[in-house]
A and B are shown apart, each in its own frame.
Chain A
């Protein structure tokens, strides 16, 4: 496939691995966090870690939107389906996330809730058009990549004069999550993790551009290289980070120049700004409540805001006692450090959210990397 296969070439990967080995200083260790679940997936699936020298360690970050969605948000969606009797539609990834009382959206559907899977926010609008006698709620999750499509859906609903469509908005912002990792008080609880640099998000950056990361490079002296999701992209980014660390630089560099520039997609940013505003605070799974880290629907679109239309307040719920997702999302622990990894908690029966999506650290390690440790 054009623009995919060329970025997965095994021979080139060997050459890049060699270049990385030449460049990495054997006298020191390198700890790089890949923020995005997409990178986590690529690293596990293509065995990128196996190609790296032992002193270059990759740490999985919190950049999978399903993994950072707290239980209380899924509960809200379930209450909308079971108690408020709405037709609840959402992306497939959300359906199996464990919620309170052993429920998930899929199990709520088995109990008679009207839960529909959609591929796109436009499908949710179409469902509302087709079912004028039902209230249709789109449970919208995701980072800056999925936010513009939700904005388009709300504007479409306005244009169509829909009275039966609303959105449970759980969109979150990447830069706040990165900031929380760098300065959170919980680091004391779980211990610190050395982070030398970040691999910056791929598709999020197509929307917001590379500029927002300049802050991290300048304020925290952490190099950032934005990378595409293919294995060769990740390897080149690792090499660029090693070079920055070796030279004592902390800059934002862009490996994914075929899709990302400094400014991002202005049209998408404009749409998002028109429809959404910052939330003062939002709870993330594993990262707790983070200030100004999520979006809500502006008051002029209040009738499309499910949180205002239906009285489903947010109630915070603690994670399963054994679950280490919080520490894993911060890079303090690894999936295999969780007592129930691979035994009680599996992709078929996830206990924590990191096991749900193939981009979650636990699911990626379970599927592709687990036997390496035995």
Chain B
């Protein structure tokens, strides 16, 4: 019920609507809850609405952290504080 997934906006449509690509499946969703979305943005989609935009830089930082953490010994790794 609360599951929502990242989808890429491929087309903006009238009435606050947009076409998104959900793992190859195209679906029309509402952008009524988020301002300023442009084509190419990733949004988190839940029950037909974009809840917000996904920040690609922050996503990269988290991925880096996963990788570093597996390699470093205790006390050396930079956790998000």
Which A residues have a C-beta under 8 Å from some C-beta of B?
1-4, 6-7, 9, 11-12, 14-16, 18-19, 22-23, 36-38, 41, 63-66, 91, 93, 119-123, 141-143, 145-146, 148-149, 152, 201-204, 206-207, 228-229, 232-233, 236, 239-240, 243, 253-255, 257-259, 265, 267-268, 271, 357, 359
B62-A203 in contact (CB<8A):
no
Q: A203 with B2: in contact, given A91-B47, A146-B47, A258-B55 (CB under 8 Å)?
A: yes
Instruction: List chain B residues, Cβ under 8 A from A357.
Output: 1
Complexed CA–CA distance, A308 and B56 (Å): 45
Q: Contact: B69 with A240, CB < 8 Å? A: no
Given A23-B74, A145-B46, A258-B54, 15 new contacts (CB under 8 A): A15-B69, A19-B69, A19-B72, A91-B1, A119-B47, A120-B47, A142-B2, A145-B2, A149-B33, A152-B30, A206-B44, A236-B62, A239-B79, A257-B55, A258-B62
Asked whether A14 lies within 8 Å of B70 as measured between CB atoms, the reply is yes
* Residue contact A206 to B52, C-beta cutoff 8 Å: yes
Can you name 13 A-B residue pairings with CB atoms under 8 Å?
Answer: A3-B54, A7-B63, A15-B66, A18-B70, A22-B74, A120-B30, A149-B30, A203-B44, A232-B66, A240-B80, A253-B81, A259-B44, A267-B35
Contact A265 B8 (CB under 8 A): no
The contact size tier of chain B is 35 or more
B43 to chain A, nearest CB (A): 10
Q: Assess whether B8 is in contact with A240, with CB atoms less than 8 Å apart.
A: no
- On chain B, the residues within 8 Å of A16 by CB distance are 66, 69-70
Partner of A15, one of B30, B71, B80: B71
Q: Determine if A240 and B79 form an interchain contact, defined as CB atoms under 8 angstroms apart.
A: yes
Interface presence of B77 (CB below 8 A): yes
Knowing A149-B47, A259-B54, say if A66 contacts B33 (CB, 8 Å). no
- Contacts A23-B74, A145-B4, A265-B33 known; A2 to B42 CB distance under 8 Å? yes
B interface vs A, CB < 8 Å? 1-6, 8, 23, 30, 32-35, 42, 44, 46-49, 51-52, 54-56, 58-59, 61-63, 65-67, 69-74, 77, 79-81
| A204 CA to B69 CA, complexed, in Å | 27
CB B33 to nearest CB in A, in angstroms, measures: 5
**From B46, B72, B74, contact of A203 by CB (8 A):** B46
Contacts of B61 in A (CB 8 A): 257
**A36, A122, A123, A240 — which one has the most chain B CB atoms within 10 A of its CB?**
A122
Contact across chains for B3 and A41 when beta carbons are under 8 A apart? yes
Q: How far is the CB of B32 from chain A (nearest CB, A)?
A: 5
- A359/B59 in contact, CB under 8 A: no
- Contact A38 B2, beta carbon cutoff 8 Å: yes
**Are A207 and B51 interface neighbours, CB within 8 A?**
yes
B65: which A residues are within 8 A, CB to CB? 236
Q: Quick one: given A12-B66, A259-B55, are A122 and B2 in contact (CB under 8 Å)? A: no
Q: Which residue of B lies closest to A64 (CB)?
A: B1
Q: A15-B66, A239-B69 are in contact. Are A38 and B58 (CB under 8 A)?
A: no
- Across the interface, B48 reaches (CB within 8 A) one of A15, A38, A149, A239, namely A149
Residues of chain B within 8 A (CB-CB) of A146 are: 1-2, 46-47
Whole-angstrom CA separation of A3 from B55 in the bound complex: 10
B53 → A minimal CB distance (Å): 8
With both chains docked as a complex, state the minimum distance between the C-beta of A176 and any C-beta of chain B, in angstroms: 17
Contact among A4, A149, A255 with B6 in the assembled complex (CB-CB below 8 Å): A4
Complexed CA–CA distance, A145 and B44 (Å): 11
Please determine whether A148 and B33 come into contact, CB atoms closer than 8 angstroms.
Answer: yes
- A265 in contact with B51 (CB, 8 Å): yes
Question: Which residues of B lie under 8 Å from residue A12 when comparing CB positions?
Answer: 66-67, 70
Complex-state Cα separation, A65 to B47, whole angstroms = 14
Residue of B6, B33, B34, B70 with most chain A CB atoms under a 10 A cut-off? B33
Residues of B within 8 A of A4 (CB): 5-6, 23
Q: Which residue of A lies closest to B23 (CB)?
A: A1
